[in-house]
Chains A and B, each alone.
Chain A
Amino acid sequence: MTALAEASPSLKRRTRTIGGRGGPALVVAFVAVAVWWAGAVVADSAVVPTPDQSLRSLVTELAQPSFRASVFDTLRVLVQSYLSAAVVGAVVGALLGVRPFWSRVALPLAYAVNTVPKVTLFPIFFVFLGLGNLSCGSFAFFSGVLPMFLIAAEAARGVPQAQLKLAASLRVGDLRVLPMVVWPAVMPAVAAGLRLTFGFTFLGLIVAEMFAGSSGLGQQLLRNVALARMEYIAGEIVLIALLALVPFLLLTWLERRISDRFGPRPAPRGSRP
């Protein structure tokens, strides 16, 4: 207590921040594990493994080189497809969004395609690209690029007319208006899009690997489903959740930083003169 009281203001602030932002999430995670554990004990069934059984199975699987290769395959394809979906979606969306004619042409089409459950389109990827990482990665890219495109295009359409007119009145050309006005204006939306796109891309990849993966976590998951090894399935779900959690936290942090830097914010209390 004394030590805490004597701690530097920055340490106290940091402690408060961790407690304030991460505290509730940690409590929910702890409660979820406790409920899972209690449920498994009460059910006492082979189809509901306990958390410790699941973790032991996961450790066993991670000891196998083929499983580790699958994990690395998934991560490699995920990084490639996510980065390409984020960059292509954001750039093409923003470029198109600032052009009213092309927005009117492309956006209804993109929305129409986006309403189709993407998994129903996977056979097309499978037929043209075959089994393996190429079709899985392409489908993951497709799952992520469309939401990113729509978010960036809508954000670019929403750039205030007054800002664009200001740039035009200063004779800022089409190429320079992008870095000077459009990019900074769409950055907060794109940052939120990066976080959402990650989830869609990862989902698309796991689903694709279940259908057409020659390796990867999706394929491993399906193998364990076929063998009805519930504790292994649960262990892989935990692994997938952990793999998703780290980028999610990083992207959430990035989104907050970008929103603070570029987004319109309400005035802090007492800051307005």
Chain B
Amino acid sequence: MMNTDADTTSRPAGAAPPGAAHVEATGVVRAFGPVQALGAVDLRLQAGEFVSVVGPSGCGKSTLLEIVGGLQVPDAGTVEVGGEKLAGPRERTAIVFQDSACLPWRTVLDNVAFPLEAARVPRKERRARAQELLGVVGLAEFAGHHPHQLSGGMRQRVAIARALITEPDLILADEPFGALDEQTRILMAFELLAVVERLSASVLFITHSIQEAVLLSDRVLVMSARPGRILDEIVLDLPRPRAQNTLALPEAAAAVDRIWTTLRTEASASMGVPR
């Protein structure tokens, strides 16, 4: 995750240097009719930082992610990415959805190449790049398959390869492993971490899993029940590279406990259970 000087000099123009604020959301408010989804959220994401957001169901986590991704416009507040005010989806922001959003009529290779097709990159070039990325996520031999021929975990790897093909500097992941079994989920999480570290991209990661958030992140933000606000921020000074036994460290266990303590009250509130 740490960038060397050489990394910094090779960073594409417009990208924030490590440590600088890459995403800065201030006073973001969003309502859907009478339902107040987000209530004045401030969010700061440094370049190359991995930040997870946990919170009870319906607290506005995905709404926050879509606002940062430029898919939704906040009712109030501002969002800046890479020092520029956000006015819609950015070229170098990639989103990984909970549903892999694979297009069933396209082969795995064409699914991965889809963002480059959208950017009108010539066919030969985009297919070569997609093939390369399929190698990175271990799906090179499945290039000609269709999504229905893959397992759920493999489809999510396709989604990750698709997100990486534009070499994003910001990855927004909306519970990308939510539908996977525990073993696949852990393996996928480490796989994501490895490719993200190679890219030095910033990551905003929405998850329901406290352990997953602690295992992967530099910081964890805990949101309140609707209307969503940031209740707590946990900075994780855990050694990298992370491994499964990272969770056995006393600092990690303390972080899990602290997040759960905050979250339990909010989750009870969102379910209508007395606190």
> Which residues of A does B touch, CB under 8 Å?
160, 162-163, 165-172, 176, 180-181, 184-185, 187, 261-268, 271-273
Contact = CB atoms under 8 A, between A and B. Distances in A.
Interface stretch (B74-82, B110-118, B202-210): B110-118
B93 interface: yes
A105 to B, nearest CB: 19
B97 interface: yes
B99 interface: yes
Most chain A beta-carbon contacts within 10 A, residue among B88, B91, B118, B150: B118
Contact of A184 (B93, B105, B117): B105
Interface in B178-198: none
Contacts of A267: 148-149
Contact of B148 (A165, A171, A180, A265): A265
B104 A166 contact: no
Contacts of B118: 167, 170-172, 176, 180
A86 B95 CA distance: 37
Given A165-B95, A169-B95, A273-B151, A262 B105 contact: yes
A210 to B, nearest CB: 42
Most chain A beta-carbon contacts within 10 A, residue among B98, B142, B149: B149
**3 smallest A-B Cβ distances: which pairs?**
A162-B101, A170-B118, A262-B105
Contacts of A169: 69-71, 89, 93-95
Contact of B154 (A165, A185, A187, A273): A273
A265 B117 CA distance: 24
25 contacts: A163-B103, A165-B71, A165-B97, A165-B101, A166-B95, A166-B97, A168-B89, A169-B69, A169-B71, A170-B114, A170-B115, A170-B118, A171-B89, A176-B118, A180-B118, A181-B103, A263-B104, A264-B104, A265-B146, A267-B148, A268-B149, A272-B149, A272-B150, A272-B151, A273-B151
B6 interface: no
Interface of B: 66, 69-71, 88-89, 91, 93-95, 97-99, 101, 103-105, 114-115, 117-119, 142, 146, 148-151, 154
Given A160-B99, A185-B105, 16 more contacts: A160-B101, A162-B97, A162-B98, A162-B99, A163-B103, A165-B71, A166-B95, A168-B71, A170-B118, A171-B88, A263-B104, A265-B148, A267-B148, A272-B149, A272-B150, A272-B151
B101 A163 contact: yes
Contacts of B148: 264-267
Contact of A271 (B94, B95, B117, B149): B149
A188 to B, nearest CB: 9
Nearest to A264: B104
Nearest to B100: A162
A232 to B, nearest CB: 49
Contacts of B104: 262-265
B117 A273 contact: no
B88 to A, nearest CB: 7
A152 B46 CA distance: 46
A261 B105 contact: yes
A180 B71 contact: no
Contacts of A265: 104, 146, 148
A166 B115 CA distance: 9
A270 to B, nearest CB: 11
A167 B71 CA distance: 10
B149 to A, nearest CB: 5
B188 to A, nearest CB: 15
A44 B66 CA distance: 76
Contacts of A167: 118
Contacts of B66: 165
Nearest to B104: A264
Contacts of A261: 105
Nearest to B99: A162
A37 B253 CA distance: 84
Most chain A beta-carbon contacts within 10 A, residue among B69, B70, B89, B91: B89
A170 B119 contact: yes
A183 to B, nearest CB: 10
Contacts of B142: 273
A273 B150 contact: yes
B46 to A, nearest CB: 22
Contact of B91 (A166, A171, A180, A262): A171
A163 B154 CA distance: 18
Nearest to B119: A170
Contacts of A168: 71, 89
A263 to B, nearest CB: 7
Contacts of A184: 103, 105
A264 B149 CA distance: 10
A171 B120 CA distance: 11
B224 to A, nearest CB: 25
Nearest to A173: B118
Contact of B117 (A166, A180, A264): A180
Most chain B beta-carbon contacts within 10 A, residue among A165, A268, A271: A165
